[in-house]
Amino acid sequence: MPHFIAQKDPNEVTDFAIKWKDWLAGDTISTSSWTVPDGITKVSDTNTDDVATIWVSGGTDGSDYVLLNTIVTTGTRTEERDILILCRATGAYTIGGRQIIDDIRFDVDDEETPYDYSLERINTLVQRAVDYYSLFRPYVIDTTLDISEDVSWYALPSDCMRVLELEYRTAEGVSDEVVNTQYPWMYEGWDSPALTMIRNELIARYDELGVGVWEQVNWTLSRETGQYVILYPTPDEDDTIDLRYVATHVRSGADFDTIPSEDADIILDYVVGLILRKKATQIAQGIVDYRAGQTRTVRNPETMRRVARERLESVRRRLEKPVIQREGTP
């Protein structure tokens, strides 16, 4: 376990400090050194009698880094402590190139600093809205799956939400078949005893993993275990087969560039609905803390709940409308 956990933006040059006073118990720091992993850069470091400080820059968004501080005291004692740095972009997320943070703050009456909702909190809600959006309008990915001779089951990509098509040439080599990957043992014309054996194998596999049941073989069981597909007949040679699947839209830098800009209002309404619903609950419970000297018109919590419900229902109705499936590559 790290002694300390901190967060930095990849674009920041910032400092982190370890206070050693309690451990030193009257001793003082003689020398201080830092071990920094690849991917993040030490700019400089300093120390006083009881505090060791490091300045760092860079890092990759979404990556974690451990900074290890080693001190030697004037009493010749040596000790190590580390800081876990969570490298996360704190800039405003955008949807299809459109920044929506200001629109969200305007709709929930959070335009005065210090804000009620931090940028980090709004970004978290935007990600939640994107995850919900992806259930209805996911990102379609065309890729390939490497298969091996005499191997029947395969892990699908970790971001796979659902398989759309999996083209697999049967062992007989008669034709390219689009495999029904949801219930492959129901595929017409396949040998029932062999499929029963496959079913039993799946039960054993998933019992071993300790998750799910065999009917769920092609649905996401968890982020850790992902999905699996079984091919029948078992491949008789090494090959590569075409796979089309849908995934959650992911952020690239500050932008969810696979979400069309015209759908930004869907994300906006979902986030606003969540915030207003939360605010209505807080007002009803009397736990809203107003800052000294600030005057603000407070909407009735029931009215706020109704507006929140309307925004969320509007999102659901729009997402349930059929759209032309959008395609892309990772």
Q: Using one digit for the tens of pLDDT, what is the confidence trace for 201-257? A: 655 655 555 444 333 333 333 333 446 676 656 777 888 888 888 888 988 877 898
The answer, yes or no, to whether residue 323 has pLDDT greater than 60, is no
pLDDT tops 80 at residue 276: yes
Look at residue 270 in the predicted model and tell me its pLDDT: 96
What is the pLDDT averaged over residues 82-109? Answer: 85
Residue 178: its pLDDT value, please? 42
Per-domain residue ranges for the chain? 4-87, 94-136+251-328, 139-247
Could you tell me which residue, 26 or 288, shows the higher pLDDT? Answer: 26
Sequential DSSP letters for 43-111: EEEEE-SSEEEEEEEE--TT-EEEEEEEEEETTS-EEEEEEEEEE---SPPEETTEE-HHHHHHHTT--
Average pLDDT over residues 117-144: 90
DSSP state of 247: E
pLDDT value of position 74: 95
pLDDT per position as a tens digit, 152-198: 777 778 787 777 777 665 434 334 444 444 344 334 444 555 555 65
> How many other CB atoms are there within 10 angstroms of residue 202's CB atom?
22
Say yes or no: domain 4-87 is CATH 1.20.120.1200: no
Q: Could you tell me which residue, 187 or 65, shows the higher pLDDT?
A: 65
Q: Tell whether the model's pLDDT for residue 78 goes beyond 70.
A: yes
Mean pLDDT of 290-310: 68
Going through 160-270 in order, the beta strands assigned E by DSSP cover 160-169, 176-178, 228-230, 239-247, 255-256
